[in-house]
Structure 1
Amino acid sequence: MDLEQKINSSTHLELPPSDILSLYEDMVLGRYFEDMCAQMYYRGKMFGFVHLYTGQEAISSGVIKALQPTDYVCSTYRDHVHALSKGVSANEVMAELFGKETGCCKGRGGSMHIFSNTHNFLGGFAFIGEGIPVALGAAFQSMYRQQVLGKSGELPVTVSFFGDGTTNVGQFFECLNMAALWKLPIIFVIENNQWAIGMAHPRSTSVPEIHTKALAFGMPGKEVDGMDALAVREVAEEAIRRARAGEGPTLIEALTYRFRGHSLADPDELRSFQEKEAWTARDPIKRLANYILEKDIATNSDLDIINQKVKTVVEDSVEFATNSPDPSVDDLYKHLFL
């Protein structure tokens, strides 16, 4: 099966209309927020490297919105939208990107290090593969608390997001092995956007079908259309069920595409116009909107109301960040362990 066949072979689970509209709103929030980040970056309001998630929203919304608040999420340097899906407010994320005291990390983390203890969001990481061992530790402590310390209640699940390029580094294989060995409640989600910075995915690995690598560790490996939020949600729900029931980890490969360059400093000259055009035609937000209209879940007017609501949230976040105070030099060492 070629790539085009794979990404057009989705099946849909039955979700209540309210859940589908919630998915749509979350995806639109991610898109508008990232578009605003691009504007603010080029206006000099953000500094350093900023990596946007545009085009991949179906994965964040499809997976994270299936989790419970007590579950954990570990991200990458492309972490803004993951944080928003997990419940971190647009105000806190935007203020963090502006380096303000009201940011979720008090302005100390910036774009690649979004973190929220309140929302069990375990952070973004500047280097590939860094977050996978952190996610593994979170899954281990969930099981340890229940099996050794006798904590009652539902077993928390951890989701680790990372890109296709990360699957060629040591942490990926080491952590999959340990997760399978101990049957940890963790889900590994590969956001295969076809490019590892400037390296095309098929040129960087001897086995392009990454989900098949799960077989070496005795865990399920699932491939899903990462441009289809409902297809992602379906695969995620099964993986979450397995993990919460103590049946161990799952590896999910979501086939997707980033609509912008690797970062906002990337002129994006390596990818062909034809390739970008083919993928943008499968825009996950437009696809879900079309599904909603076809199934009479909502009208165009209803979707316009959602879009305007989200746009207001994002615009308000810029005003909040702009008017927030800068960190005080007197607090330079305040949040450090010395």
Structure 2
Amino acid sequence: MQLGHDQLLGAYRRMSTIRAFEERLHDEIKTGEIGGFTHLYSGQEAVAVGICDQLTVEDKIVSTHRGHGHCIAKGCDVKGMMLEIYGRAGGLCKGRGGSMHIADLDVGMLGANGIVGGGAPQAVGAALAAKMDGNGRVGIAFSGDGACNQGTTFEAMNLAVVTKAPAIFVFENNHYSEHTGVEYAVGTANDIASRAEAFGMKVWRANGCDFFDAYAQFRDLLEYVRAGNGPAAIELDTERFYGHFEGDPQRYRGPGELDRIREERDCLKAFRKVVTDAALLTDAEMDAVDKEVGILIDEAVAQARAGADPDPATVADDVYVEYY
């Protein structure tokens, strides 16, 4: 796999944006200005970008409660996202969704989802629509190791196989289903992909802390599905740098675990090492990107703080579908 200079710099920019967005939220939530639960994606950036960088606007994705990274990687407006998380009228969903329910249909982001395993059936629906349209597009469900235990996910995988839908099941195994370790909660432990395989679909496995492995494995999978071979799944071994939700004390973590994964399994550090060792990008170029991203996040937070709350008179808007 050979990505050009601009592609690599773009991938780094998107990963850096996700990291900066989440790290800033980690600080801003402490102010009490952001309502509701927030689940941060820091540590898993290589998965979202390695996958979404290969999609078109017409390809549809469905996210999870830990969805900010998928939104940014798929092209959602960062300032619109921040407004949404602050509950402002100018947010992508008019301030009605908040952190766990960001959506932007214009870029193929069908929505984050507060229901564990709730996205898989929606992604299969999008895949079936793509099959009927014959446009070669795909429907993708991002899921974690918790969602792999849900009946909705099982039923969606079976339906995708039966209908030969161009659906892709992405399992981000960050080793924890909320607060419970995967070794305890998942019967197949660190082999979630074998569950999808049992339904009759082809599976891939990748290191989710390595952008290049995630990109390469998903490239092969995407070619397979776009060629009309039906659904497929991929399991990516990754890490989350924060708790299940903001405020989680993480007492289930082992001694030194967080320090170890931040040092040894940081996908941004790994990316930098690969591209600088191969003289594909320079540290100066990536430092400049980080600085630009920092300015963007500062602007997004300032705009969100100053944003207007939704008008109470519009509380019933967008609740029901209107047919004409």
TM-score normalised to structure 2 length: 0.96
Preserved contact between residue 227 and residue 255 of structure 1 (Cα < 8 Å): yes
- The residue number in structure 2 matching 1:97 is 85
Cα distance in structure 2, aligned partners of 1:215 and 1:270: 30
Say which of 180, 194, 200 aligns to 2:175. Answer: 194
Shift of 1:323: 2.0
Hey, what's the Cα distance between the residues in 1 that align with 2:115 and 2:210?
28
Separation (CA, whole Å) in 2 of partners of 1:321 and 1:177: 42
Residues 148-188 of structure 1: per-residue CA shift (max 9 Å, x gap): xxxxxx41111110100111111111111111111111110
The residue that corresponds to 2:26 in the other structure is 38
Is 1:170 the counterpart of 2:151? The answer is: yes
Check the 8 A contact 2:204/2:217 in 1, yes or no.
Answer: yes
The 1-side partners of 2:45 and 2:234 are apart by: 16
Contact persistence 2:193–2:234 (CA under 8 A): yes
**Equivalent residue, structure 2, for 1:5:** none
Match of 1:302 among 273, 278, 285: 285
Pick the aligned partner of 1:219 from 201, 220, 233: 201
**Distance (Å, rounded) in 2 between the aligned partners of 1:77 and 1:289:** 28
Say which SS state the counterpart of residue 272 (structure 1) adopts: coil
SS at match of 1:118: helix
SS in 1 for 2:14: helix
Q: Residue 129 of structure 1 corresponds to which residue in structure 2?
A: 117
Range 202-211 or range 94-103, more displaced: 202-211
Q: Which residue of 1 aligns with 2:137?
A: 156
Deviation of 1:220 after TM superposition, in Å, equals: 1.2
Aligned twin of 1:274: 256
Equivalent of residue 56 in structure 2, options 60, 68, 73: 68
Contact 2:101-2:114 at 8 Å conserved across structures:
yes
Contact kept? 1:239, 1:249, Cα under 8 Å: no
Deviation (angstroms), 1:244: 1.4
CA distance in 1, matches of 2:24, 2:265: 22
Moved more, 242-251 or 86-95: 242-251
Once the two structures are TM-superposed, the CA of residue 240 in structure 1 deviates from its matched residue by 1.4
- Per-residue CA deviation, residues 68-111 of structure 1 (Å, 9 max, x unaligned), is 11111100001111111111111010000000011000000001
Matched positions, count: 319
In the alignment, does 2:71 pair up with 1:83? yes
Give the Cα separation in 1 of the matches to 2:32 and 2:272. 33
The letter of the residue matching 1:199 is T
Matched ranges for 1:52-63 at <5 A: 52-63=40-51
Note if contact 1:225-1:232 (Cα within 8 Å) is conserved in structure 2.
yes
CA shift at 1:274, angstroms?
Answer: 3.0
The 3-state SS of whatever aligns with 1:73 is strand
Report how far residue 144 of structure 1 moved.
1.4
How far the C-alpha of 1:237 sits from its partner, in A, is 1.1
Structure 1 Cα separation of the partners of residues 92 and 309 of structure 2 = 13
The residue type equivalent to 1:78 in the other structure is R
**Percent identity at matched positions?**
32
Deviations 1:256-295 (A, max 9, x none): 1101111102111111133323322220001001111111
Normalised to the residue count of structure 1, the TM-score between the two structures is 0.92
- Measure the CA separation in 2 of the matches of 1:91 and 1:331: 22
Deviation at residue 335 of structure 1 after TM alignment: 1.6
Contact kept in structure 2, 1:213 and 1:221, CA below 8 Å: no
Distance (Å, rounded) in 1 between the aligned partners of 2:257 and 2:299: 35
**Residue 272 of structure 2 corresponds to residue 284 of structure 1:** no
Q: How many angstroms does 1:310 deviate by?
A: 0.8
Which amino acid in structure 1 is aligned with residue 136 of structure 2?
Answer: L
8 Å contact kept, 1:96–1:103:
yes
Hey, what's the Cα distance between the residues in 1 that align with 2:282 and 2:299? Answer: 26
Residue of structure 1 in register with 2:276 after alignment? 293
Provide the secondary structure at the position in 2 that maps to 1:326.
coil
CA contact under 8 A between 1:49 and 1:265: conserved in structure 2? Answer: no
**CA deviation map 1:272-321 (0-9, x unaligned):** 13332332222000100111111111222111111111111111111121
- Match of residue 106 from structure 1: 94
Aligned with 1:234 (options 211, 216, 219): 216
TM superposition shift of 1:17: 2.2
Give the secondary-structure state (helix, strand or coil) at the position aligned to 1:273.
coil
2:36 is aligned with 1:48: yes
Task: Spell out structure 1 runs of 4+ moving beyond 2 A.
Answer: 273-278
Letter matched to residue 82 of structure 2: M
- Distance in 2 (CA, whole Å) between partners of 1:201 and 1:216 is 19
Residue 105 (structure 2) pairs with residue 117 (structure 1)? yes
Which runs of no fewer than 5 residues in structure 2 stay unpaired? none
